Structure 1
Amino acid sequence: MSRDASQLTSLPPEILGQIVSLLPKFSASSLRRTSRDLVSIATPAVFRSIRLQATGDDPERFMQIAESEKLRGFVREVTCDPWIGSHFRYRSGWHYEIPSSFFDALAFLSCFRQLNALHLRFPPECGDDSFPEESSDFRYRILHTVFNSLAGSWSRESQQKVDAGLNMEEVYKYEMKKYPVGISQGPIVLKCITISNLEARLESRLVGSDASKTILGSERLTDLRLLIARQTRGAYSEPMATGHDFFESIPYTWLSSPVAANLRVLSLHSHAPWGWYPKMDFRLVGCGMPNLRVLALRNFIFSHEWQIEWFGSRGLEELYLDTCAILAHALGVELDHGTSAVRQANGEEVIVSHEGYYANPSSGRPVETFVGTLRWHRLFSHWTDSMTNLRVFKMGSTRWDYPAPVDGSGYAGNPYTQMIWATRSHGVIWNDFRYFDCPSPEISGQDVFRFRTGMSESAEAGLEYAYYTENEWMDCDTYINGTEYEREMVEDDDSADFLEPRREGGGWEMDDGNRGRDEAALDIFRSSVEVRWKEVSREN
């Protein structure tokens, strides 16, 4: 044993355990091999978080850990990712071979009885069944196996029955070679679930199952983070379904009352705008999320007056608005004039109006124009008084589909090194919906892949207003620099007088002084939050 190792082992085990838990995994693994005395201290840190990818011998290693009585008890966090490696390009027309060993390994989740957190990762490409690797059945197959394994309801026979009903030719060729035997002891209750690139598709087979209700409805599940992928078709990723049914169903599925009642952390990020179109009405979450303390939204479109009070009365302690906007104007749309009855936690039934939302499905009524009255300064002025528990607020935009920049890494221009870059960076892309509170450090060197670029809070990154016309979203810049057709649609509309388009400092404003009022209200709101954060910090 080296002198340094001897000095380490002289520390009390509790302190040494705390030190090792803060080390990167590769450092803890090296420490584990340093001396026999450090094995018992370093092993829990090495196996606390493990990853199952469909690459190389990852699935086999995962199953070995699951079958090891000595190691599986240390596992608290698992990431499952069907990525087969940087050699394969989605939408390339290349043959995709179903990762059979990955499918086998998924069922071994039932072995990790101490599991607290599960992270599921999918590619952003989805919705085109002509590509087996992104078909709805492929994703459902993974989600079904995961939820049933965790719920204790998985069996080889039931899996084979599900596989036989999938519309995937490649699954017919798949033969289960390995599966857990005699492990299940009832449901594994999780504290945190995250899903990257969840397809915006109402998957009744999944959300209506007893297994998903068991896992999502657990009282211990307090942290739910979803990144929702937009469905596209073809090699050029042309948008197809907008996910109306999926988003409208969220209050009854992913945020049903048994789920939402226990949540303390909720992150809902989407590749495309949502909230108004497709509609997701937070008022329809029957329990009202009474325990929610942290809320993170990306691409959410505020549109209605009720949202000022609803968000302001949640008792939030942290709020993150990433690339969010307020709907200013919508042209040529069919608007909803219906209502819904919502039963709240106290049993009282409340009628909720859908007035002013995009109608789904279309009923053939004449198209209308939506003119928004909501403004950022009104929203922040109210929140300054109502969000009395808020101590962290961030508003801006994040580069979420690419790793943090590397200075002098030498990856550009070389196919081989670019493949290395893709392999090393894969684990950190599409993760901002999980790490929304990450700062923006100045970083360089090999540790770059351990960090993410945080949200930019520059003046240009917030206080946005959105415009919708002809199935397209526009911002003010698009209105200025867009096509003649796009500009004429706004300028020729009689109800667009409030826009009063004029150039002021290179930009456009909806009305006199609106930008100034927005910025002033935001400054006051941020100042009040900062004061509260300092007070809480002093108390702690």
Structure 2
Amino acid sequence: MTLEVKVTPGSDIPLPLEIISLICFYASKLDQLRLRLASRQLCQAATPHALKSLYLRAYGRSSENFKNIARSTTLRTFVKEVSIDTWIGPVYEHHANGSYDVPQDFLNTLPYLQYYQNITRSHMRFSEYCGYNRFDDRATWTDIEASWPFRYKILDTVSHCITGMWTKAKQIQIDQKVKGDRVLKHLVPDYNDDFPDLPTGHVMKIKEFTVSNLADYNDPNLLQSKAWGQLLHLPTLVGLKLLVTKEHYSPEYRHVICEEKYDFFQTLPSTYLTPSLASKLQVLSLFYIDFWGWFPRIDLAQVGPMPQLRILALGHYVFTHKTQTDWIASLGTGNRSGGLEELYLDDCPILYEADQYGPLTADGYPVPRTVIEGFQQHGHRSSTTTYGMRWHHVLTEWKRSMKGLKRFVMGHGNWQNANLVTKATKEREEYAHLSYDERERRFIYNSHRYFACPEPQESHIKTEVVPADKYLHGAGLLQRRAARMQYIYYSVGLCPSQWDHPYHLCSRFAKEEGWAPEDETVALDDAAYELFMEAIRDRLED
């Protein structure tokens, strides 16, 4: 039996609003926008889906559109998620000493964020090039457009908006702190007078806060900001995802003397993962563009057990000590599963040997000042230290202690490659107005957010037909054998990077073969991995 429904333009569809809303949910964003014009009923059903997420870019008409929606007392209430991207478009190449036009409209539009009082997810995206435009022995002689002051201004402005603390006077104070920056000194401020149509002191109920390319630098202005501190203490904040980029330095191997990163990681447990935040976080993702954990050192055990944590994702984190793996096993004891439920390790190797300037600390970690001085004093002698941790030790212990784990993924993510996602959006109408570079930029540097997405298919494998939308929301970790249970070597004398990562060689020529410092370790690691995964599968079947 066929039901024929006749609908004339402007008329309503004889279906419950809930059904129509469900249909609109599955429509593309452009179709949702079109449906708003079809009839009053369709407008009512489609608008919440069409405006659920906004993407504020630093070029084009994005700022104007963002302000127009903000001024609408009706439309702005539907926005639940906002992404803010500082990229100024494909016509400009960052870090090439080009003529950089300060994104005036974009920076002056940021205070309008406070109009969107119903948002629950906020995403910040910065350039991968980070640092400070200086004229000293660490000068790079190439302009850093998204400098430390530039990033501070944006983060603190956003923080004031989210926490209901923004005023024109506060914004002027923020601008005064960065007026010496070579980029921001060209900014012509144009701010409204305190937005009188908004209730004062409204705090947004942010559940998830993410930053792509956060600077590896403790900016004193940001750390002293009451608004930034209040954002990290929001009672609703249960998800924090950070991808940290490193200060640009040329030549790259001399990046070891950039001392700010050592302080950043050493204090991260107290500056970002404060006790009040750690006690309620359910999702934590920490990624660094370079290897971290050993050097620069971070003691995540200082964060504590994080009783509510369900999901942990780490990127480029280096293991050396049992205290690190014990901390992971201690997480989430107060959640519904009695322990961590999901664990993702993206290019997280075990350090088996290191050639470093010493002496090291008593527990085998480098001392930053000693390393910097040794690096600057050519001919300073280094010493070699070996580390006995192996993956079969770790996985065997986790099998015993992590009784709540339901998903464990280790492998290699798309750190600086968004090809699969970019291709997936090629045929989507809502992205048709964007060039390839624009689409790639939107999805690149998202490993800290995509870790749970479908495993990427390797380009040379043609046996599987991949659905066009499989990677529409991201590509996860490649889990071939060479990408799992990795080991790494460090030598302060290597260049361009001090890290010698066998994965890059193994993954090219022996994709399904493991590597370890000892031949017999590969088989032991494989056996421990299979037993660990079998225990997780058995747990899911019970």
Q: Identify the TM-score tier after normalising by the shorter chain.
A: 0.7 to 0.9
> What SS is found at the alignment partner of 2:315?
strand
Q: CA deviation at 1:281?
A: 0.8
Q: State which drifts further: 210-219 or 374-383.
A: 210-219
Pair 1:255-2:277 in alignment? no
In structure 1, C-alpha distance between the alignment counterparts of 2:490 and 2:183, rounded to whole Å: 41
In the TM superposition, what are the counterparts of 1:120-135 in structure 2 within 5 Å?
120-129=124-133, 131-135=143-147
Residue number in structure 1 paired with 2:154: 142
- Report the residue type matching 1:432 in the other structure: S
- Report the residue type matching 1:362 in the other structure: T
In structure 1, C-alpha distance between the alignment counterparts of 2:126 and 2:36, rounded to whole Å: 32
Question: Residue 267 of structure 1: which of 285, 291, 295 is its match?
Answer: 285
Give yes or no for contact 1:8–1:16 (8 Å, CA) kept in 2: no
Give yes or no for contact 2:420–2:471 (8 Å, CA) kept in 1: no
In structure 1, C-alpha distance between the alignment counterparts of 2:343 and 2:232, rounded to whole Å: 23
Residue number in structure 2 paired with 1:67: 71
In structure 2, C-alpha distance between the alignment counterparts of 1:407 and 1:529, rounded to whole Å: 33
% same residue: 31
Give yes or no for contact 1:147–1:215 (8 Å, CA) kept in 2: yes
- Report the residue type matching 1:85 in the other structure: G
Pair 1:362-2:370 in alignment? yes
Given the superposition, is the C-alpha separation of residues 82 and 479 from structure 1 closer, same or farther in structure 2, using an over 3 Å criterion?
Answer: closer
In the TM superposition, what are the counterparts of 1:213-232 in structure 2 within 5 Å?
213-232=229-248
Q: CA deviation at 1:449?
A: 7.3
Q: CA deviation at 1:235?
A: 9.6
Residue number in structure 2 paired with 1:210: 226
Given the superposition, is the C-alpha separation of residues 406 and 507 from structure 1 closer, same or farther in structure 2, using an over 3 Å criterion?
Answer: closer
In structure 2, C-alpha distance between the alignment counterparts of 1:408 and 1:326, rounded to whole Å: 34
Pair 1:294-2:311 in alignment? yes
CA displacement, residues 15-54 of structure 1 (integer Å, 9 cap, x when unaligned): 3323323433223222223333200111111111111111
Pair 1:113-2:117 in alignment? yes
Q: CA deviation at 1:303?
A: 0.7
Given the superposition, is the C-alpha separation of residues 272 and 101 from structure 1 closer, same or farther in structure 2, using an over 3 Å criterion?
Answer: same
In structure 2, C-alpha distance between the alignment counterparts of 1:406 and 1:118, rounded to whole Å: 21
Residue number in structure 1 paired with 2:83: 79
Give yes or no for contact 1:96–1:132 (8 Å, CA) kept in 2: no
CA displacement, residues 349-375 of structure 1 (integer Å, 9 cap, x when unaligned): xxxxxx212213339798543211111
In structure 1, C-alpha distance between the alignment counterparts of 2:417 and 2:455, rounded to whole Å: 14
Pair 1:102-2:102 in alignment? no
Residue number in structure 2 paired with 1:523: 530
> What SS is found at the alignment partner of 1:164?
helix
Q: CA deviation at 1:5?
A: 8.8
In structure 1, C-alpha distance between the alignment counterparts of 2:423 and 2:146, rounded to whole Å: 35
CA displacement, residues 428-455 of structure 1 (integer Å, 9 cap, x when unaligned): 1111211210003667797587243321
Q: State which drifts further: 150-159 or 218-227.
A: 150-159
In structure 2, C-alpha distance between the alignment counterparts of 1:36 and 1:237, rounded to whole Å: 62
Given the superposition, is the C-alpha separation of residues 281 and 335 from structure 1 closer, same or farther in structure 2, using an over 3 Å criterion?
Answer: farther
Give yes or no for contact 1:189–1:220 (8 Å, CA) kept in 2: yes
Question: Residue 161 of structure 1: which of 168, 173, 179 is its match?
Answer: 173
Q: CA deviation at 1:479?
A: 10
In structure 1, C-alpha distance between the alignment counterparts of 2:275 and 2:8, rounded to whole Å: 54
CA displacement, residues 481-517 of structure 1 (integer Å, 9 cap, x when unaligned): xxxxxxxxxxxxxxxxxxxxxx9x9986423511100
Give yes or no for contact 1:223–1:265 (8 Å, CA) kept in 2: yes
Given the superposition, is the C-alpha separation of residues 234 and 138 from structure 1 closer, same or farther in structure 2, using an over 3 Å criterion?
Answer: farther
Give yes or no for contact 2:454–2:471 (8 Å, CA) kept in 1: no
Q: CA deviation at 1:203?
A: 1.5
In structure 1, C-alpha distance between the alignment counterparts of 2:327 and 2:171, rounded to whole Å: 43
**Structure 1: which 5+ residue stretches go unaligned?**
339-354, 412-416, 481-502, 536-540
In the TM superposition, what are the counterparts of 1:2-81 in structure 2 within 5 Å?
3=7, 9-81=13-85
Q: TM-score, normalised by structure 1?
A: 0.83
In structure 1, C-alpha distance between the alignment counterparts of 2:387 and 2:310, rounded to whole Å: 29
Pair 1:467-2:484 in alignment? no
Pair 1:174-2:200 in alignment? no
Q: State which drifts further: 223-232 or 169-178.
A: 169-178
In structure 2, C-alpha distance between the alignment counterparts of 1:108 and 1:400, rounded to whole Å: 32
In structure 2, C-alpha distance between the alignment counterparts of 1:506 and 1:114, rounded to whole Å: 50
- Report the residue type matching 1:274 in the other structure: W
Pair 1:308-2:313 in alignment? no
- Report the residue type matching 2:67 in the other structure: M
Pair 1:383-2:398 in alignment? yes
In the TM superposition, what are the counterparts of 1:178-193 in structure 2 within 5 Å?
178-179=191-192, 181-182=195-196, 183=198, 184-193=200-209
Give yes or no for contact 1:330–1:369 (8 Å, CA) kept in 2: yes
> What SS is found at the alignment partner of 2:479?
coil
CA displacement, residues 187-226 of structure 1 (integer Å, 9 cap, x when unaligned): 2231100000101111222123211111111121000000
CA displacement, residues 121-166 of structure 1 (integer Å, 9 cap, x when unaligned): 0111111425252211111111111111212222222222322331
Give yes or no for contact 2:356–2:366 (8 Å, CA) kept in 1: no
Residue number in structure 2 paired with 1:497: none
In structure 2, C-alpha distance between the alignment counterparts of 1:408 and 1:103, rounded to whole Å: 31
Give yes or no for contact 2:486–2:516 (8 Å, CA) kept in 1: no
Residue number in structure 2 paired with 1:488: none
- Report the residue type matching 1:530 in the other structure: R
Residue number in structure 1 paired with 2:447: 432
In the TM superposition, what are the counterparts of 1:377-416 in structure 2 within 5 Å?
377-405=392-420
- Report the residue type matching 1:72 in the other structure: R
Residue number in structure 2 paired with 1:455: 477
- Report the residue type matching 1:333 in the other structure: Y
Give yes or no for contact 1:424–1:449 (8 Å, CA) kept in 2: no
Give yes or no for contact 2:233–2:277 (8 Å, CA) kept in 1: yes
In structure 1, C-alpha distance between the alignment counterparts of 2:54 and 2:201, rounded to whole Å: 21
- Report the residue type matching 2:76 in the other structure: R
> What SS is found at the alignment partner of 1:139?
helix
- Report the residue type matching 1:100 in the other structure: Q
Residue number in structure 2 paired with 1:321: 345
The RMSD of aligned alpha carbons is 3.1
- Report the residue type matching 1:278 in the other structure: P
Q: CA deviation at 1:470?
A: 1.2
Q: CA deviation at 1:322?
A: 0.6
- Report the residue type matching 2:244 in the other structure: I
In structure 2, C-alpha distance between the alignment counterparts of 1:260 and 1:327, rounded to whole Å: 27
Given the superposition, is the C-alpha separation of residues 138 and 235 from structure 1 closer, same or farther in structure 2, using an over 3 Å criterion?
Answer: farther
How many pairs align? 489
Q: TM-score, normalised by structure 2?
A: 0.83
Give yes or no for contact 2:269–2:302 (8 Å, CA) kept in 1: yes
Give yes or no for contact 1:232–1:238 (8 Å, CA) kept in 2: no
- Report the residue type matching 1:181 in the other structure: F
Give yes or no for contact 1:403–1:429 (8 Å, CA) kept in 2: yes
Give yes or no for contact 2:104–2:188 (8 Å, CA) kept in 1: yes
- Report the residue type matching 1:159 in the other structure: Q
Residue number in structure 1 paired with 2:462: none
CA displacement, residues 268-304 of structure 1 (integer Å, 9 cap, x when unaligned): 111100011111111111x421111100011000110
Given the superposition, is the C-alpha separation of residues 468 and 140 from structure 1 closer, same or farther in structure 2, using an over 3 Å criterion?
Answer: same
CA displacement, residues 216-262 of structure 1 (integer Å, 9 cap, x when unaligned): 11121000000010111359897462611111111011111111111
Given the superposition, is the C-alpha separation of residues 362 and 218 from structure 1 closer, same or farther in structure 2, using an over 3 Å criterion?
Answer: same
- Report the residue type matching 1:83 in the other structure: W
> What SS is found at the alignment partner of 2:419?
coil
